Chains A and B, each alone.
Chain A
Amino acid sequence: MPILTVKKLTKNFGGLAAVSNVSLELEQGELVGLIGPNGAGKTTVFNLLTGVYKPTSGTITLHTNGTDKPIQGLKPYKVCEMGIARTFQNIRLFKDLTVLDNVRIAMHKNVKYGLAASFLRLPSCQKEEQELVERSMELLKIMKLDHKKDELARNLPYGEQRHLEIARALATNPSLLLLDEPAAGMNPAETAQLTEVISWIRNQFKLTILLIEHDMSLVMKICERIYVLDYGQVIASGTPEEVRTNKRVIEAYLGEDVNNA
């Protein structure tokens, strides 16, 4: 059963087609990779899926709770409310806030108490705040950041910042998680650990994950299917093995050996 169907998605910036006629389908619970050379339009696809850009044409349909909802052109916070969360290629944490606050903010969309309760700090507010802290701490524990809850996000080492971004995305309680180069800038040991974390959260939270990644060891190891993008178009898709041997893919990477890229 698909969770996301993208049909003929196109985005033009002026005369330039950053993404053209991209069609994707993600099955419930799948872990899918989106790869391609620099400038292929991968992040633009993410920005279209999450509402940062409005598509020039094409449709994006989210299938959750037995209904089909078109989400193209919705504002990012609406898309998030519908169950799609993301991380950013160039880490975008709330840098001057604590680790705990970063996660708590992402839980805001499910907060029930109103403005009046917050002004007067009514019991309803206090109780829910307590729950927010507890739930945030659970997520931080999973990402091994619980002991740093009062640290400012900007003071975390790079790898932990990437982990915090994932924790924050999980805090929005998504059914589909988009990871934009989660392993960028990590050393092999960190990447290996991240790879495990990603598979683990996918099973634990029953998530569907779409990830952009340049680190082929990670992609080949955990992705069940891969889409390859080049010049804004899908040039290949299939299992890691199929993609690895695809001639067009190898050409796209300028003859580079995909195994070691």
Chain B
Amino acid sequence: MTAAVDAREHHLALFKAFAGNGAAGSPAWLRDLRGQAIARFAELGFPSTKQEEWRFTSVAPIAETTFALSHGRDAPGVTASALAPYWIAGPGAIRLVFVNGTFAPALSAAAELPRGVRAGSLRAALASDAELAQRHLARHADYQTSPFAALNTAFLSDGAFVYVPAGVELERPIEVVFAVATDGEREALVAHPRTLVIVERGARATVLESYVAPQGGVYWTNAVTEIALAQGARLEHYRIQRESREAYQVATTHATQDRDTVLRLHPVALGAALARHDLRTELAGTGGELILNGLYLLRGRQHADHHTVIDHAQPHCASHEYFNGLLGEQAHGVFNGRIIVRPGAQRTDSKQTNNNLLLSADARADSQPQLEIYADDVKCTHGSTVGPLDETALYYLRSRGLAAETAAGMLTYGFAAEILGRMEHAAVRDELDRVIRGRLADRTRGGRRGAT
């Protein structure tokens, strides 16, 4: 408890320095927002496992570490060649790279963008697109209930800004890379990256967020992503979390979907010692469609906790959620998926599945699918499984001539590949396929180290 109080005081002190220093030149509305957010954080503090939402995930390791703010720290070691192995979206991508929370134009690959499209630094957008930023920032990700979203909002200074104007169909993916540099740092760093994605009426885009640490080490990423889809917009969104195996990540992704929108979210968690992702989408207009297609692939003592909320606020929406977890060694996977169907949200069609594969005797899975339904004309289902590889499927594969080990490897891969199969962007899918095959091969060789 005292550690949590100390930690709170520490972050309040960091904020004081931040507000008096680098953030002083910001517009008044932003300074107000930050002030409200830090006040809220001061009230909420770090959560404890006594809180229902945090029952299975202790943030004590984060509270007990004294972090220094990463903003503006030099990172000479993070070069284009150091980052190149982490590119996912292929050579045609528009790439935005952020190091220690700050936009790094030299590492980014800008491109000729269709008229009106913005893909750049949020800090720049605060000046150039102030009205848009003000209209959307902190409107989707609620900092009143989450201390982590509050903290991110308090330290809001840079991040990615993507804006696709009405009717524009952007073919090339936008890849946003957040890297933390740990070399030469005496203290553990904390970064609060922010991403804002706005897709206007009838527009279409593919955005990929990637979290990496080429130098490994202990640090904390506290990320917030806000997504706003206007009527008829379509967004394919990937989030590939490959933090250092010693790092912590807390992430908040909140999306708001207007009428007839299609949102396809693909969160993939591979890295971090401790990762927590709160993902919430609100189907706020009729005819909305959501695919939430997630994967967590953990080993060692990794712990990843996904809390998802799909809020059906309007009728005639469909949501399909799939989360597969592969848990090796002493890994612990937590899934909590809530589907809310509000009064009047008739004709809701909602399906949710969470499947967990336990690959070792010490792995552990907690699964909490939840349906909360206040309308009657609905079709909602959820399913959850936890278990080892299916014996009958193993036998089936062996009866076709595959060795037992090959059969087990194929089933394990298939468990992950099922999620990859729903990804629409071929280059992204293929690269992730390569990453995951590598991870699984590493596992069967008994390897534990190496890049995640």
The answer on A and B forming one complex is no
Residues of A within 8 A of B (CB): none
